[in-house]
Chains A and B, each alone.
Chain A
């Protein structure tokens, strides 16, 4: 039951984007289409689970003083592996994500979980935490990119939804649209979360 709580924490109570507001750079940049948002989310799930597991396993043999460089090595290794495999087996997505894929290395979500969770907890809990946080990030990206793609480009997963005469609001797929939509989503998410929290008590 405790594991389920850790999992739920990552998705709802401590959602990295909507609640902790970390890892925003890639969130704002890649969410111009649902396929990009989903792919970026899954890449982060893979890296986060891998790095959390390895850091947790090594936590007793890693001295405090060098834990940060050790985290960097572990995380960079996983990011590079994900990058290589995406380049080989998912080339269109690899090209669409561009620089933001290698930049997962400096995504604060991954560092924050390594420092705050994996370095202090066992491997199973860390793996679940990585999965929960990664899926929480993915949830935020997919929601944001769904709104932006449907109203900003008139399509969903690249499939046009409306007729020729529909003129999408181009600003939503431009950078200012990312900020406007993300702000509104954070507001809605937190209202819903608080309402649920008070009704549970």
Chain B
């Protein structure tokens, strides 16, 4: 009994020290990681809307309300030209062929798609992974948000294409019902 207690205490000391070390390194890296994630989003946003446009996250109450109703949504940004809102970008998760797809779809306020990016994926290299490439993502530019969005499927990767389309269309519905007016 006494020995068990002693061993337990020794292991406890190990875990405490380990937790302390991890806390320190987490502190050292967390700012940088958040900054990179933000930079990744902004980079994709600028590719979609152009360099001159400024971005800010959607107002917090409204954003939370939308995310609560649509759990697949990660973040929503407003695109501003000067003071006027020119569009919205919705970052959401969809199911691809090999795992989750993290998508960002930009909508112009006039009801067209301004662009789409696949931010993260785990699709098959050479097939579904081609969904990242401009040749595929450019197919979305200018499509109307009035109807269901469809594009020509990537050859050999219908599953990935359907996953992307499902994500883009769920973003489109949110844009139509919550944001466009």
Q: Determine the chain B residues whose CB is within 8 A of the CB of A170 once the complex forms.
A: 126
Which interface class (under 10, 10 to 19, 20 to 34, 35 or more) fits A?
20 to 34
The answer to whether A63 touches B29, judged by C-beta atoms less than 8 angstroms apart, is: no
8 Å CB contact of B33 from A76, A88, A98, A173: A88
The answer to whether A73 touches B11, judged by C-beta atoms less than 8 angstroms apart, is: yes
8 Å CB contact of B15 from A73, A87, A98: A73
Binds B, one of A39-47, A77-85, A192-200: A77-85
The answer to whether A66 touches B25, judged by C-beta atoms less than 8 angstroms apart, is: no
8 Å CB contact of A73 from B6, B18, B29: B18
Task: Verify if A62 is at the interface (C-beta below 8 Å from B).
Answer: yes
Instruction: Give the nearest-CB partner of B37 in chain A.
Output: A91
Q: Determine the chain A residues whose CB is within 8 A of the CB of B69 once the complex forms.
A: none
Task: Verify if B32 is at the interface (C-beta below 8 Å from A).
Answer: yes
The answer to whether A80 touches B22, judged by C-beta atoms less than 8 angstroms apart, is: yes
Binding site for B on A (CB under 8 A): 61-63, 65-66, 69-70, 73-74, 76-77, 80-81, 84-85, 87-89, 91, 95, 98, 170, 173
Task: Verify if B56 is at the interface (C-beta below 8 Å from A).
Answer: no
The answer to whether B10 touches A84, judged by C-beta atoms less than 8 angstroms apart, is: no
Task: Verify if B151 is at the interface (C-beta below 8 Å from A).
Answer: no
Q: Given contacts A85-B29, A87-B29, A87-B33, are A77 and B7 in contact (CB under 8 A)? A: no
Instruction: Give the nearest-CB partner of A99 in chain B.
Output: B122
Query: Complex formed: what's the CA distance from A89 to B25 in Å?
Result: 13
* A-B contact sample (13 more), CB < 8 A, given A73-B11, A84-B33, A170-B126: A61-B10, A63-B7, A69-B11, A70-B11, A74-B14, A74-B18, A77-B18, A77-B22, A80-B25, A85-B25, A87-B33, A88-B32, A173-B125
